[in-house]
Structure 1
Amino acid sequence: LADLPCEIRSLIWEATLPPPRIFHVKSTAESSLQKVLTFHRRHPPPVALHICAESRAAALRKGGFFLAPDARTGPWFNPKRDILYFDRNQRHMLRSKFGKTHIAGWEQVLHVGLEWRAWFRDVPRRTAPGDEEVRKHWRSVVRGLYFHMPALESIHYVLPRVRHKGGVTWGREPYKAAEYEAEVVRLPEETEIPW
Protein backbone atom coordinates (compact mmCIF):
# COMPACT_ATOMS: atom_id res chain seq x y z
CA LEU A 1 0.00 0.00 0.00
CA ALA A 2 2.86 2.38 0.80
CA ASP A 3 4.09 2.25 -2.83
CA LEU A 4 0.78 3.55 -4.23
CA PRO A 5 0.21 7.26 -4.90
CA CYS A 6 -1.40 9.08 -1.95
CA GLU A 7 -4.60 9.73 -3.97
CA ILE A 8 -5.08 5.98 -4.50
CA ARG A 9 -4.32 5.22 -0.85
CA SER A 10 -6.88 7.83 0.19
CA LEU A 11 -9.53 6.19 -2.03
CA ILE A 12 -8.72 2.81 -0.49
CA TRP A 13 -9.11 4.18 3.05
CA GLU A 14 -12.38 5.89 2.09
CA ALA A 15 -13.67 2.57 0.71
CA THR A 16 -13.32 1.10 4.22
CA LEU A 17 -15.79 3.64 5.65
CA PRO A 18 -19.26 2.37 6.57
CA PRO A 19 -22.18 2.60 4.14
CA PRO A 20 -24.96 5.13 4.83
CA ARG A 21 -26.37 4.65 8.32
CA ILE A 22 -29.42 5.89 10.16
CA PHE A 23 -28.87 7.52 13.54
CA HIS A 24 -32.18 7.13 15.41
CA VAL A 25 -32.31 10.02 17.89
CA LYS A 26 -33.35 8.98 21.40
CA SER A 27 -33.13 12.22 23.36
CA THR A 28 -30.84 15.05 24.35
CA ALA A 29 -28.43 15.26 27.23
CA GLU A 30 -26.60 18.15 28.84
CA SER A 31 -22.84 18.08 28.35
CA SER A 32 -20.85 21.03 29.65
CA LEU A 33 -22.92 24.02 28.53
CA GLN A 34 -24.35 22.36 25.40
CA LYS A 35 -27.07 19.90 24.55
CA VAL A 36 -26.02 16.76 22.72
CA LEU A 37 -28.03 14.05 21.02
CA THR A 38 -28.29 10.54 22.38
CA PHE A 39 -29.17 7.61 20.14
CA HIS A 40 -31.08 4.35 20.46
CA ARG A 41 -28.23 2.40 18.88
CA ARG A 42 -24.54 3.19 18.78
CA HIS A 43 -22.91 2.58 15.44
CA PRO A 44 -19.29 1.49 15.77
CA PRO A 45 -16.71 3.97 14.50
CA PRO A 46 -14.94 3.12 11.23
CA VAL A 47 -11.95 0.81 11.56
CA ALA A 48 -9.97 3.35 9.50
CA LEU A 49 -9.82 5.54 12.61
CA HIS A 50 -7.60 2.96 14.32
CA ILE A 51 -5.25 1.66 11.59
CA CYS A 52 -2.73 4.44 11.01
CA ALA A 53 -2.47 8.23 10.84
CA GLU A 54 -3.21 8.27 7.10
CA SER A 55 -6.36 6.13 7.42
CA ARG A 56 -7.54 8.20 10.38
CA ALA A 57 -7.06 11.42 8.38
CA ALA A 58 -9.11 9.94 5.50
CA ALA A 59 -11.94 9.01 7.89
CA LEU A 60 -11.92 12.46 9.51
CA ARG A 61 -12.08 14.16 6.09
CA LYS A 62 -15.36 12.36 5.38
CA GLY A 63 -16.94 12.58 8.81
CA GLY A 64 -16.31 13.25 12.43
CA PHE A 65 -17.53 13.29 16.00
CA PHE A 66 -19.30 16.63 15.65
CA LEU A 67 -22.62 15.54 17.20
CA ALA A 68 -20.95 15.94 20.59
CA PRO A 69 -19.26 18.94 22.22
CA ASP A 70 -15.98 17.08 22.66
CA ALA A 71 -14.31 15.75 19.48
CA ARG A 72 -13.37 12.51 21.26
CA THR A 73 -16.93 11.56 22.23
CA GLY A 74 -20.17 10.83 20.43
CA PRO A 75 -20.69 8.80 17.28
CA TRP A 76 -18.66 9.15 14.11
CA PHE A 77 -21.08 10.67 11.60
CA ASN A 78 -20.60 11.10 7.85
CA PRO A 79 -22.81 14.07 6.88
CA LYS A 80 -22.74 13.22 3.16
CA ARG A 81 -24.07 9.69 3.76
CA ASP A 82 -25.69 9.34 7.17
CA ILE A 83 -29.26 10.26 8.15
CA LEU A 84 -30.36 11.79 11.44
CA TYR A 85 -33.75 10.15 12.16
CA PHE A 86 -36.39 11.71 14.43
CA ASP A 87 -39.38 9.61 15.47
CA ARG A 88 -42.58 10.94 17.05
CA ASN A 89 -40.97 11.10 20.50
CA GLN A 90 -38.54 13.83 19.42
CA ARG A 91 -41.04 16.26 17.90
CA HIS A 92 -40.53 18.60 20.88
CA MET A 93 -36.87 18.99 19.95
CA LEU A 94 -37.62 20.88 16.74
CA ARG A 95 -40.66 22.76 17.99
CA SER A 96 -39.00 25.02 20.51
CA LYS A 97 -41.36 27.94 21.15
CA PHE A 98 -38.73 29.95 22.98
CA GLY A 99 -36.08 30.15 20.29
CA LYS A 100 -33.63 27.83 18.66
CA THR A 101 -32.55 24.78 20.63
CA HIS A 102 -28.85 24.51 19.85
CA ILE A 103 -27.49 21.01 19.64
CA ALA A 104 -23.83 20.41 18.85
CA GLY A 105 -23.28 19.50 15.19
CA TRP A 106 -26.73 20.29 13.78
CA GLU A 107 -25.30 22.86 11.40
CA GLN A 108 -23.44 20.07 9.55
CA VAL A 109 -26.37 17.65 9.14
CA LEU A 110 -27.36 17.22 5.48
CA HIS A 111 -29.95 14.40 5.63
CA VAL A 112 -32.89 13.99 8.02
CA GLY A 113 -35.50 11.26 8.38
CA LEU A 114 -38.88 11.99 9.97
CA GLU A 115 -41.21 9.31 11.27
CA TRP A 116 -44.57 10.03 9.70
CA ARG A 117 -46.34 10.72 13.00
CA ALA A 118 -43.61 12.94 14.43
CA TRP A 119 -45.22 16.20 13.38
CA PHE A 120 -48.60 15.10 12.11
CA ARG A 121 -50.39 13.70 15.13
CA ASP A 122 -52.84 16.60 15.06
CA VAL A 123 -53.47 16.55 11.31
CA PRO A 124 -56.67 14.72 10.30
CA ARG A 125 -56.07 11.41 8.56
CA ARG A 126 -58.59 12.06 5.85
CA THR A 127 -57.96 15.25 3.95
CA ALA A 128 -59.21 16.48 0.63
CA PRO A 129 -56.70 16.55 -2.24
CA GLY A 130 -54.95 19.92 -2.22
CA ASP A 131 -56.01 20.68 1.36
CA GLU A 132 -54.26 23.96 2.26
CA GLU A 133 -54.12 23.17 6.00
CA VAL A 134 -51.93 20.14 5.36
CA ARG A 135 -49.67 22.19 3.09
CA LYS A 136 -49.31 24.89 5.76
CA HIS A 137 -48.43 22.25 8.30
CA TRP A 138 -45.74 20.75 6.03
CA ARG A 139 -44.29 24.19 5.32
CA SER A 140 -43.97 24.96 9.03
CA VAL A 141 -42.25 21.61 9.66
CA VAL A 142 -39.76 22.12 6.83
CA ARG A 143 -39.03 25.70 7.94
CA GLY A 144 -38.33 24.42 11.45
CA LEU A 145 -35.91 21.82 10.11
CA TYR A 146 -34.00 24.41 8.08
CA PHE A 147 -33.97 26.75 11.05
CA HIS A 148 -32.10 24.15 13.11
CA MET A 149 -30.13 22.55 10.25
CA PRO A 150 -29.43 25.21 7.61
CA ALA A 151 -27.23 22.91 5.46
CA LEU A 152 -30.06 20.37 5.06
CA GLU A 153 -30.19 18.78 1.59
CA SER A 154 -32.78 16.00 1.91
CA ILE A 155 -35.70 15.00 4.10
CA HIS A 156 -36.73 11.34 4.19
CA TYR A 157 -40.31 10.58 5.13
CA VAL A 158 -40.14 7.45 7.31
CA LEU A 159 -43.03 5.03 7.53
CA PRO A 160 -42.23 2.19 9.95
CA ARG A 161 -42.88 -1.32 8.71
CA VAL A 162 -45.87 -2.88 10.42
CA ARG A 163 -44.47 -5.76 12.45
CA HIS A 164 -47.42 -6.83 14.53
CA LYS A 165 -50.55 -8.89 14.07
CA GLY A 166 -54.15 -7.80 14.27
CA GLY A 167 -54.57 -5.69 11.16
CA VAL A 168 -53.29 -2.45 12.68
CA THR A 169 -53.03 0.15 9.94
CA TRP A 170 -51.34 3.49 9.37
CA GLY A 171 -47.81 2.15 9.77
CA ARG A 172 -48.07 1.99 13.53
CA GLU A 173 -44.68 1.74 15.17
CA PRO A 174 -44.02 -1.76 16.54
CA TYR A 175 -43.43 -2.49 20.21
CA LYS A 176 -39.80 -1.62 21.12
CA ALA A 177 -39.24 -0.16 17.65
CA ALA A 178 -36.01 1.50 18.75
CA GLU A 179 -34.41 -1.93 19.11
CA TYR A 180 -34.78 -2.61 15.38
CA GLU A 181 -32.21 -1.43 12.87
CA ALA A 182 -33.68 1.33 10.70
CA GLU A 183 -33.24 1.25 6.94
CA VAL A 184 -34.17 3.38 3.95
CA VAL A 185 -36.43 1.69 1.38
CA ARG A 186 -37.78 3.44 -1.70
CA LEU A 187 -41.55 3.43 -2.11
CA PRO A 188 -42.91 2.12 -5.42
CA GLU A 189 -43.76 4.88 -7.91
CA GLU A 190 -47.50 4.12 -7.74
CA THR A 191 -47.66 4.68 -3.96
CA GLU A 192 -50.24 7.33 -3.06
CA ILE A 193 -49.33 9.72 -0.25
CA PRO A 194 -52.46 10.88 1.66
CA TRP A 195 -51.99 14.66 1.23
Structure 2
Amino acid sequence: MFVDAWQMTSSFDGFQQLPPELRLKIWEDSLPGARTIHLVKELVDESPRFGRRKSQCTSTIPCPKTLVSMLHVCAESRAVVLKRYKALFSPRSHADPSFSLHYFDPSMDGIFVDDIWPWVRGGNSRPAALYQTRRLSISCNAWWSMWRRDTWRSSLMGEGGLLKFKHLEELNIVFRILTDHERERIMQYKFGQYMGPSDLSTFLRRPHDIDFPTSSVDIHVEPIIAKLKSMEAKNPGWKVPKVKLIAWATLPEA
Protein backbone atom coordinates (compact mmCIF):
# COMPACT_ATOMS: atom_id res chain seq x y z
CA MET A 1 0.00 0.00 0.00
CA PHE A 2 1.32 3.43 -0.94
CA VAL A 3 -0.03 6.45 0.92
CA ASP A 4 0.64 10.14 0.33
CA ALA A 5 1.59 11.23 3.83
CA TRP A 6 0.70 14.90 3.54
CA GLN A 7 -2.61 14.29 1.77
CA MET A 8 -3.60 11.60 4.26
CA THR A 9 -3.11 13.72 7.39
CA SER A 10 -4.68 16.85 5.88
CA SER A 11 -7.78 15.11 4.48
CA PHE A 12 -8.45 12.60 7.28
CA ASP A 13 -9.45 14.57 10.38
CA GLY A 14 -9.64 11.47 12.56
CA PHE A 15 -6.12 10.26 11.86
CA GLN A 16 -4.72 11.42 15.20
CA GLN A 17 -7.51 9.56 17.02
CA LEU A 18 -6.42 6.21 15.58
CA PRO A 19 -4.57 3.79 17.90
CA PRO A 20 -0.79 4.51 17.92
CA GLU A 21 0.10 1.08 16.54
CA LEU A 22 -2.26 1.62 13.58
CA ARG A 23 -0.82 5.07 12.86
CA LEU A 24 2.70 3.62 12.91
CA LYS A 25 1.64 0.86 10.54
CA ILE A 26 0.23 3.45 8.13
CA TRP A 27 3.43 5.51 8.31
CA GLU A 28 5.57 2.44 7.66
CA ASP A 29 3.41 1.43 4.69
CA SER A 30 3.91 4.93 3.28
CA LEU A 31 7.67 4.44 2.94
CA PRO A 32 8.95 3.86 -0.61
CA GLY A 33 10.25 0.49 -1.76
CA ALA A 34 13.82 -0.51 -2.49
CA ARG A 35 15.75 1.71 -4.91
CA THR A 36 19.13 1.74 -6.61
CA ILE A 37 20.71 5.17 -6.26
CA HIS A 38 23.10 6.07 -9.07
CA LEU A 39 25.79 8.49 -7.91
CA VAL A 40 27.53 10.61 -10.53
CA LYS A 41 29.95 13.49 -10.86
CA GLU A 42 28.19 16.71 -11.79
CA LEU A 43 29.67 20.03 -12.88
CA VAL A 44 28.00 23.10 -11.38
CA ASP A 45 28.61 26.81 -11.87
CA GLU A 46 30.54 28.11 -8.90
CA SER A 47 30.90 31.59 -10.33
CA PRO A 48 28.90 32.07 -13.58
CA ARG A 49 30.24 35.59 -13.96
CA PHE A 50 33.83 34.35 -14.24
CA GLY A 51 33.00 31.02 -15.87
CA ARG A 52 34.34 28.93 -13.00
CA ARG A 53 32.89 25.47 -12.42
CA LYS A 54 33.35 22.84 -9.75
CA SER A 55 32.45 19.17 -9.44
CA GLN A 56 30.17 17.62 -6.87
CA CYS A 57 28.78 14.19 -6.18
CA THR A 58 25.04 13.92 -6.73
CA SER A 59 22.29 11.40 -7.43
CA THR A 60 20.55 10.96 -10.76
CA ILE A 61 17.20 10.74 -8.95
CA PRO A 62 15.82 13.08 -6.28
CA CYS A 63 14.81 11.97 -2.84
CA PRO A 64 11.25 10.51 -2.97
CA LYS A 65 8.69 13.18 -2.20
CA THR A 66 7.01 10.86 0.28
CA LEU A 67 10.14 10.80 2.45
CA VAL A 68 10.50 14.57 2.30
CA SER A 69 6.84 14.98 3.30
CA MET A 70 7.06 12.50 6.16
CA LEU A 71 10.10 14.28 7.55
CA HIS A 72 7.97 17.41 7.97
CA VAL A 73 4.41 16.19 8.66
CA CYS A 74 4.86 15.46 12.36
CA ALA A 75 7.30 14.10 14.93
CA GLU A 76 5.75 10.63 14.67
CA SER A 77 6.23 10.31 10.91
CA ARG A 78 9.72 11.81 11.12
CA ALA A 79 10.72 9.22 13.72
CA VAL A 80 9.51 6.41 11.43
CA VAL A 81 11.69 7.73 8.58
CA LEU A 82 14.80 8.28 10.68
CA LYS A 83 14.52 4.82 12.22
CA ARG A 84 15.34 3.27 8.83
CA TYR A 85 16.78 6.00 6.63
CA LYS A 86 20.16 7.73 6.77
CA ALA A 87 21.14 11.06 5.22
CA LEU A 88 23.07 10.35 2.03
CA PHE A 89 24.23 13.92 1.39
CA SER A 90 24.79 16.71 3.85
CA PRO A 91 25.20 19.80 1.62
CA ARG A 92 22.60 21.42 -0.59
CA SER A 93 22.85 20.56 -4.27
CA HIS A 94 22.71 23.30 -6.88
CA ALA A 95 20.54 21.10 -9.08
CA ASP A 96 17.76 20.23 -6.65
CA PRO A 97 17.21 21.48 -3.08
CA SER A 98 15.76 18.07 -2.18
CA PHE A 99 19.21 16.53 -2.55
CA SER A 100 20.20 18.12 0.75
CA LEU A 101 17.50 15.88 2.25
CA HIS A 102 18.32 12.79 0.23
CA TYR A 103 17.84 9.82 2.51
CA PHE A 104 18.38 6.14 1.79
CA ASP A 105 17.69 2.87 3.56
CA PRO A 106 21.00 0.97 3.92
CA SER A 107 19.17 -2.33 4.43
CA MET A 108 17.18 -2.07 1.17
CA ASP A 109 18.55 0.61 -1.14
CA GLY A 110 21.52 -0.15 -3.35
CA ILE A 111 24.28 2.27 -4.36
CA PHE A 112 25.61 2.33 -7.91
CA VAL A 113 28.73 4.26 -8.87
CA ASP A 114 30.44 4.29 -12.25
CA ASP A 115 33.33 6.49 -11.18
CA ILE A 116 35.55 6.38 -8.09
CA TRP A 117 35.59 10.19 -8.04
CA PRO A 118 32.77 10.59 -5.46
CA TRP A 119 34.96 8.94 -2.83
CA VAL A 120 38.35 10.26 -3.86
CA ARG A 121 37.53 13.94 -4.31
CA GLY A 122 33.86 14.29 -3.46
CA GLY A 123 34.63 17.27 -1.25
CA ASN A 124 31.78 18.39 0.96
CA SER A 125 29.31 16.50 -1.23
CA ARG A 126 30.90 13.11 -0.51
CA PRO A 127 28.11 10.67 0.47
CA ALA A 128 28.27 10.49 4.24
CA ALA A 129 26.29 7.31 4.97
CA LEU A 130 27.44 5.42 1.89
CA TYR A 131 29.46 2.75 3.70
CA GLN A 132 26.37 1.46 5.50
CA THR A 133 24.83 0.07 2.31
CA ARG A 134 24.42 -3.69 1.91
CA ARG A 135 24.21 -3.64 -1.89
CA LEU A 136 26.96 -1.95 -3.89
CA SER A 137 27.24 -1.82 -7.69
CA ILE A 138 30.37 -0.58 -9.44
CA SER A 139 31.07 -0.24 -13.15
CA CYS A 140 33.76 -2.58 -14.43
CA ASN A 141 36.03 0.36 -15.35
CA ALA A 142 35.78 1.81 -11.84
CA TRP A 143 36.43 -1.60 -10.28
CA TRP A 144 39.51 -2.11 -12.45
CA SER A 145 40.80 1.34 -11.58
CA MET A 146 40.26 0.73 -7.86
CA TRP A 147 42.70 -2.16 -7.76
CA ARG A 148 45.25 -0.64 -10.10
CA ARG A 149 45.46 2.43 -7.85
CA ASP A 150 45.33 0.88 -4.39
CA THR A 151 47.48 3.57 -2.84
CA TRP A 152 44.99 5.99 -1.29
CA ARG A 153 43.91 3.92 1.69
CA SER A 154 41.39 6.45 2.98
CA SER A 155 39.36 6.34 -0.24
CA LEU A 156 37.45 3.70 -2.14
CA MET A 157 40.57 2.05 -3.51
CA GLY A 158 41.04 -1.70 -3.55
CA GLU A 159 41.10 -3.52 -0.25
CA GLY A 160 41.46 -0.33 1.79
CA GLY A 161 38.17 0.98 0.42
CA LEU A 162 36.07 -2.17 0.46
CA LEU A 163 36.88 -2.87 4.11
CA LYS A 164 34.88 0.24 5.00
CA PHE A 165 31.70 -1.52 3.86
CA LYS A 166 31.12 -3.42 7.10
CA HIS A 167 27.62 -4.64 6.17
CA LEU A 168 28.11 -5.40 2.48
CA GLU A 169 26.07 -8.41 1.33
CA GLU A 170 26.03 -7.99 -2.45
CA LEU A 171 28.68 -6.66 -4.82
CA ASN A 172 27.73 -6.16 -8.48
CA ILE A 173 30.23 -5.43 -11.24
CA VAL A 174 28.40 -3.72 -14.11
CA PHE A 175 29.42 -4.02 -17.77
CA ARG A 176 27.91 -1.97 -20.54
CA ILE A 177 27.09 -3.99 -23.65
CA LEU A 178 26.47 -2.81 -27.20
CA THR A 179 22.84 -3.27 -28.24
CA ASP A 180 21.50 -3.89 -31.74
CA HIS A 181 19.98 -0.41 -32.06
CA GLU A 182 23.31 1.15 -31.04
CA ARG A 183 25.20 -1.03 -33.51
CA GLU A 184 22.88 0.08 -36.32
CA ARG A 185 23.47 3.72 -35.41
CA ILE A 186 27.24 3.24 -35.38
CA MET A 187 27.34 1.52 -38.75
CA GLN A 188 25.54 4.48 -40.31
CA TYR A 189 28.63 6.50 -39.44
CA LYS A 190 31.46 6.40 -41.97
CA PHE A 191 34.12 5.29 -39.49
CA GLY A 192 31.82 3.42 -37.12
CA GLN A 193 33.52 0.06 -37.60
CA TYR A 194 36.82 1.49 -36.39
CA MET A 195 35.53 2.87 -33.09
CA GLY A 196 37.17 1.72 -29.86
CA PRO A 197 35.48 1.57 -26.43
CA SER A 198 36.20 5.21 -25.55
CA ASP A 199 34.96 6.39 -28.95
CA LEU A 200 31.77 4.36 -28.56
CA SER A 201 31.16 5.81 -25.09
CA THR A 202 31.50 9.36 -26.43
CA PHE A 203 29.54 8.80 -29.65
CA LEU A 204 26.60 7.06 -27.95
CA ARG A 205 26.57 9.00 -24.69
CA ARG A 206 23.27 9.98 -23.16
CA PRO A 207 22.75 11.53 -19.71
CA HIS A 208 24.03 9.23 -16.94
CA ASP A 209 25.19 6.48 -19.30
CA ILE A 210 28.17 4.44 -18.18
CA ASP A 211 31.21 3.87 -20.38
CA PHE A 212 31.94 0.72 -22.32
CA PRO A 213 34.69 -1.48 -20.81
CA THR A 214 38.10 -0.18 -21.77
CA SER A 215 40.43 -2.49 -23.68
CA SER A 216 42.58 -3.11 -20.58
CA VAL A 217 39.69 -4.29 -18.40
CA ASP A 218 39.65 -8.04 -17.80
CA ILE A 219 37.33 -9.04 -14.97
CA HIS A 220 36.14 -12.52 -13.97
CA VAL A 221 34.16 -13.61 -10.93
CA GLU A 222 36.58 -16.29 -9.70
CA PRO A 223 39.61 -14.00 -9.13
CA ILE A 224 37.36 -11.42 -7.46
CA ILE A 225 35.96 -13.98 -5.01
CA ALA A 226 39.46 -15.29 -4.29
CA LYS A 227 40.62 -11.75 -3.49
CA LEU A 228 37.61 -11.14 -1.25
CA LYS A 229 38.19 -14.40 0.62
CA SER A 230 41.77 -13.34 1.22
CA MET A 231 40.48 -10.07 2.67
CA GLU A 232 38.05 -11.97 4.92
CA ALA A 233 40.85 -14.19 6.23
CA LYS A 234 42.92 -11.16 7.21
CA ASN A 235 39.96 -9.19 8.60
CA PRO A 236 37.67 -11.44 10.72
CA GLY A 237 34.97 -8.77 11.08
CA TRP A 238 34.50 -8.48 7.33
CA LYS A 239 32.42 -10.98 5.30
CA VAL A 240 32.66 -11.88 1.62
CA PRO A 241 29.62 -10.47 -0.23
CA LYS A 242 27.75 -12.23 -2.99
CA VAL A 243 29.39 -11.26 -6.30
CA LYS A 244 27.54 -10.89 -9.61
CA LEU A 245 28.41 -9.57 -13.05
CA ILE A 246 25.56 -7.49 -14.48
CA ALA A 247 25.05 -6.27 -18.04
CA TRP A 248 23.99 -2.66 -18.66
CA ALA A 249 22.17 -1.89 -21.90
CA THR A 250 20.37 1.22 -23.12
CA LEU A 251 16.85 1.22 -24.51
CA PRO A 252 16.08 2.79 -27.90
CA GLU A 253 15.11 6.44 -27.71
CA ALA A 254 11.39 7.02 -28.13
Decide: shared fold, TM above 0.5: yes
Classify 1:93/1:52 alpha carbon distance in 2 versus 1 (closer, same or farther; 3 Å): closer
Distance, in Å, in 1 between the alignment partners of 2:71 and 2:177 is: 34
Q: How far apart, in 1, do the equivalents of 2:74 and 2:206 lie? A: 39
Structure 1's 28 and 148: CA in aligned 2 closer, same or farther, altered over 3 A? farther
Give 1:111 deviation, angstroms.
2.0
Partners in 1 of 2:62 and 2:176 — Cα distance? 20
Once residues 59 and 3 of structure 1 are traced to their aligned partners in structure 2, the CA distance between those partners, rounded to angstroms, is 21
Give the residue type in structure 1 aligned to 2:182: K
Aligned partners of 1:121, 1:156: CA distance in 2, in Å? Answer: 15
Residue 174 (structure 2) pairs with residue 158 (structure 1): yes
Q: 1:92 to 1:66 in 2, by over 3 A?
A: closer
**Superposition deviation, residue 40 in structure 1:** 2.9
Letter in 1 for 2:136: V
Contact 1:20 1:82 in 2 (8 A): yes
1:24-77 deviation per Cα after TM superposition (whole angstroms, max 9, x unaligned):
111389xxxxxx84223323342322332211211111103243269x924111
Q: In structure 2, list runs of 5 or more residues that go unmatched.
A: 1-14, 44-55, 93-98, 148-155, 187-196, 211-219, 224-254
Matched length: 155
Evaluate the alpha carbon distance shift between residue 193 and residue 78 of structure 1 in structure 2; reply closer, same or farther with a 3 A threshold: same
Is 1:18 matched up with 2:35? Answer: no
1:9 pairs with 1, 23, 45, which one?
23
Q: Percent identity?
A: 24
The one-letter amino acid of 1:152's match is L
Query: Per the alignment, in what secondary structure is the counterpart of residue 143 of structure 2?
Result: coil
Corresponding residue number in structure 2 for 1:50: 72
- Bigger helix share: 2
2:116 corresponds, among 73, 85, 91, to 91
In 2, Cα distance between equivalents of 1:92 and 1:144: 16
User: Matches of 1:122 and 1:52 in 2, distance apart?
Assistant: 43
1:13 positional shift = 0.7
| Distance (Å, rounded) in 2 between the aligned partners of 1:109 and 1:67 | 14
Instruction: Give per-residue Cα distances to partners, 1:61-117, cap 9 Å, x unaligned.
Output: 1103243269x9241111111111111xx1355679xxxxx8522342222111233
Alpha-carbon separation, structure 2, partners of 1:19 and 1:161 = 28
Counterpart secondary structure, 1:178? coil
Structure 1 residues 64 and 91, CA, compared in 2 at 3 Å: closer, same or farther?
A: closer
Change beyond 3 A, Cα 1:26–1:74:
farther
What is the TM-score when the length of structure 2 is the normalising length?
0.46
Q: Is the contact made by 2:116 and 2:146 (CA closer than 8 Å) also made in structure 1? A: no
Question: Secondary structure of the residue that 2:168 maps to in structure 1?
Answer: coil
Q: CA RMSD in A?
A: 4.2
CA contact (8 A) 1:95 1:144 kept: no
Question: Which residue number in structure 2 is paired with residue 149 of structure 1?
Answer: 165
Q: Output the amino acid matched with 1:60.
A: L
Q: Counterparts of 1:51-90 in structure 2 under 5 Å? A: 51-68=73-90, 73-87=100-114, 90=115
2:206 is aligned with what amino acid? K
Structure 1 residues 50 and 28: CA distance shift in structure 2, 3 A: same
Checking the alignment, whether the CA contact within 8 Å between 2:85 and 2:106 is kept in structure 1 is yes
Aligned to 1:113: 137
Give the SS at the match of 1:12.
helix
TM-score, structure 1 normalization: 0.57
Counterpart of 2:110, as a letter, is I
